[in-house]
Amino acid sequence: MKTNKILDFRSDTVTLPTDEMRAAMAVAPVGDDVYKEDPTVNRLQQISAEITGMDAALLVPSGTMGNLASLLAHCQRGQEIIVGRKAHIFLYEAAGAAALGGINIQTIPNQPDGTLKLEDIQAAIRPKDEHQPITRLVALENTHNRCNGISLSPEYTRQVADFVHARNLILHIDGARIFNAAIDLNVSVAQLASPADSVTFCLSKGLSAPVGSVICGSEEFIYKAHRIRKQLGGGMRQAGILAAAGIVALENMVERLEEDHRNARLLALGLAEIPSIAINPAEQHTNMVYFSLIEGSPVSLKVFREQLASAGLLVSGGPDRIRMVTHAWVDQSHVEQAIKIITTLAPH
């Protein structure tokens, strides 16, 4: 089904459901999931809990809702979470935790490898003082999107979990792409997720399901999150139609992420050959490739992006960087075509 004429490297969110997903969706047994009676949703949740090494799981419509419901389940109004300055929760979730939960967000630097330094976490924890917010939770992101898609190791995650728990705080992981991390590091998702109190992962990014994310944690946490999902309007009734695709995603689409990582590597190496492109291939990780134009370039990144789009190559990014993400709907030949287009259009 790889028939796209446009080369779409904007994100792995653009992946379309596979034929096998569509077939599974068509025959999925369903029920009312708000009553917890959808057998396919229940199965997806059970598989998800097992994979992450957690007790329970809950299907939610999106990664954003997964993080938000998790934060709302863990935190009270007036409490504070500590996240990296480049965290998706801080940058791209429309301040949902603040707007809907009265939760203060304190940021600390992300190291280039996506980690948060323990001493920075320590310094950010509030003293017991009625003038200040109450520190409640620390969130990590794995893989780390804005840190070039880098994976956080199980050892680091365990270290942060121990550190956080010793201070009576909670650890949440935004694991939108935790399957990419597991494949990258050749470890299980449970090794990456289970040290935390909760994790969100996405079915509709590299894993190609049409819709859906899952949050996992203790029975008590999921009980609270279920109610919050309802409050947020995320109770989806016969969601087994979506869960069926999610199950195919978990069963068939994980191992192939390796191919996306290989293609991203090829792409980064190809771009490094182009004199006017600024990229350090050592900074390419998993399925993300970030690059820029060298200093003094006659065109802005915005204009360059538009030129690429006119030539049929879609990329994403902000004013300072272009991002290209490899996924199941781009193969090696698409990567080669993309390199050709960029080589032709890059300023000479």
Closer CB to ligand TLP, residue 13 or residue 276? 13
Q: Is 176 in the site for ligand TLP (CB under 6 A)?
A: yes
Nearest to 174 by CA among 102, 105, 125: 105
Closer CB to ligand TLP, residue 215 or residue 247? 215
Q: How far is the CB of 64 from ligand TLP (least distance, A)?
A: 3
Q: Identify the helix (H) or strand (E) that includes residue 184.
A: helix 178-185
Q: Is 13 in the site for ligand TLP (CB under 6 A)?
A: yes
Q: Which two tokens stand for residue 320?
A: 């300072």
Residue among 15, 107, 145, 208 that touches ligand TLP (CB under 6 A): 145
Closer CB to ligand TLP, residue 63 or residue 154? 63
What's the half-sphere exposure (Cβ side, CA atoms, 13 Å) at 204? Answer: 18
Q: Is 11 in the site for ligand TLP (CB under 6 A)?
A: yes
Q: Which residues pair with 83 in a beta bridge?
A: 107
Cα→Cα distances 28→19, 58, 175, 243, Å: 14, 18, 27, 9
Residue among 33, 38, 141, 260 that touches ligand TLP (CB under 6 A): 141
Residue among 38, 174, 197, 260 that touches ligand TLP (CB under 6 A): 174
* Cα–Cα distance, 11 to 15 (Å, whole number): 8
Stretch that binds ligand TLP, among 24-32, 61-69, 101-109, 339-347 (CB under 6 A): 61-69
Query: Binding residues for ligand TLP, how many (CB under 6 A)?
Result: 13
Q: Which two tokens stand for residue 203?
A: 């079915």
SS3 content of the chain, % helix, strand, coil (to 5): 45, 20, 40
* Cα–Cα distance, 89 to 140 (Å, whole number): 10
Stretch that binds ligand TLP, among 62-70, 131-139, 228-236, 251-259 (CB under 6 A): 62-70
Q: Is 180 in the site for ligand TLP (CB under 6 A)?
A: no
Q: Are 197 and 217 in contact (CB under 8 A)?
A: yes
Which residue reads 């490898």 in tokens?
A: 113
Q: Is 64 in the site for ligand TLP (CB under 6 A)?
A: yes
Q: Is 63 in the site for ligand TLP (CB under 6 A)?
A: yes
Q: Which two tokens stand for residue 273?
A: 């050959």
Closer CB to ligand TLP, residue 40 or residue 286? 286
Q: How far is the CB of 171 from ligand TLP (least distance, A)?
A: 16
Q: Is 45 in the site for ligand TLP (CB under 6 A)?
A: no
* Cα–Cα distance, 96 to 31 (Å, whole number): 30
Stretch that binds ligand TLP, among 17-25, 60-68, 220-228, 279-287 (CB under 6 A): 60-68
Residue nearest to ligand TLP (CB): 63
Residue among 6, 92, 99, 273 that touches ligand TLP (CB under 6 A): 92
Q: Are 290 and 317 in contact (CB under 8 A)?
A: yes
Closer CB to ligand TLP, residue 91 or residue 125? 91
Footprint of ligand TLP on 183-222 (CB under 6 A): 202, 213
Measured torsion, CA atoms of residues 79, 191, 147, 100, in degrees rounded to the nearest 10:
-30
Closer CB to ligand TLP, residue 137 or residue 346? 137
Q: Which residues pair with 173 in a beta bridge?
A: 140, 199
Which residue reads 């989806």 in tokens?
A: 236
Using DSSP's 3-state secondary structure scheme, residue 341 falls into: helix
Residues that bind ligand TLP (CB under 6 A): 11, 13, 62-64, 88, 92, 141, 145, 174, 176, 202, 213
